[in-house]
Chain A
């Protein structure tokens, strides 16, 4: 009985905390005001006196995680919206998405091996560049830990915003297409939001590149899984 009540309290705090802290981010959009950082911190602070027990926490909040499925399906709308962009620039977009995804997987594998990380961590790192719901699917497919991947995706997003800004200054990029794809393939949703700050065209390219890279990874996951066995 107590655990069930506690589980409901966690669900209420998660949703309530999210809607309470979202306006803060809207007013001061910085990486450290993002609900993705502030809500877990709030939960952790509450977790210290209440006793953080993950199975109890996830019992009711897993409904929220389940909503990632419909959210993935909703990506159909941005693809449809930018179909003209795909038709006009598909070779460049494909090159970027294919090359970027290949680099994401290869770099994670090689760097993780060099650093001597555990095999489960290494596998969880492979899908870190794509959008969370798809990354968790891919991670489960290739023998990673989906929850760890979710965390790595978040870190990638936060780091990607800062790194992308730096790279834009260093690289000689002439097209909005390249600037958008950089954020979309490299830093998924967080990068897309940043790309909209750079420009509207960059933003739409970024969201499209993000979805395409995610789908490519999902479709390649079974092949990748058999290769890494």
Chain B
């Protein structure tokens, strides 16, 4: 186990590109396996979320060290913008709808976001202060 950790750390430092691509490949493989399982066995959880859970378990149990995933996982998260640009282009198919209801949709999003942010922040602050008072 420890030799694996040492080797992965070495790889991450000395061959960052190789480490990144092999880690991305491994995450893709894990996701693909989970996705197929979910499809075949009709599990009610999406494949990507199952893969997330498995990965988290592997990390928590120490089977896979965080250093063995860092480069790949961080790359996937950083480049996520690129992955949903094609999804955004679907706007072309919905242009008539957006022309008709776009302003109203925008209002709903802006007002809704203010409400969500306000609620979240005030709840967290209240809970945080309540816990602090009771800790003493």
By a beta-carbon cutoff of 8 Å, the part of chain A in contact with chain B is 14-15, 18, 34-36, 39-40, 43, 47, 52, 54, 57-58, 61-62, 64-65, 67-81, 83, 89, 91-93, 95-97, 99-100, 103-104, 107-108, 111-112, 115-118, 121, 125, 128-129, 132-134, 136-137, 145-148, 150-152, 154-156, 159-160, 163-164, 167, 171-175, 177-179, 181-183, 185-187, 189, 209, 215, 218-219, 222
Whole-angstrom distance between the alpha carbons of A132 and B77 in the complex? 12
In the complex, the answer to whether B128 meets A99 with C-beta atoms within 8 Å is no
For B69, list chain A residues within 8 Å (CB). 74, 76-77
The answer to whether A65 and B86 have CB atoms under 8 Å apart is yes
Complex: A81 Cα to B65 Cα, angstroms: 11
- Chain A residue contacts of B83, Cβ below 8 A: 64-65, 67-68, 71, 133
A26, B23: Cα distance in complex, Å: 25
State how many residues of chain B have any CB contact under 8 Å with chain A. Answer: 73
Instruction: State the majority secondary structure of interface residues on A.
Output: helix
The complex places the Cα of A125 from the Cα of B115 at a distance, in Å, of 14
Q: What is the CA–CA distance of A30 and B79 in the complex, to the nearest angstrom?
A: 18
A210 to chain B, nearest CB (A): 11
List residues of chain B with CB within 8 A of the CB of A129.
Answer: 112-113, 116
Extra contacts, 15 of them, besides A112-B108, A177-B125 (Cβ < 8 A), are A54-B90, A61-B86, A65-B86, A68-B83, A73-B48, A74-B72, A77-B77, A92-B127, A99-B119, A164-B117, A167-B114, A172-B125, A174-B129, A178-B124, A182-B117
- Given A54-B93, A89-B128, does the pair A80, B113 have CB atoms closer than 8 Å? no
Binding site for A on B (CB under 8 A): 24, 27-28, 30-31, 34-35, 44-49, 51-53, 55-56, 59-60, 66, 69-70, 72-74, 76-77, 79-94, 97, 101, 104-129, 131
Q: Is B109's CB under 8 angstroms from A174's CB?
A: no
B23–chain A nearest beta-carbon distance, Å: 9
Which single member of A43, A65, A89, A93 contacts B84 (CB below 8 Å)?
A: A65
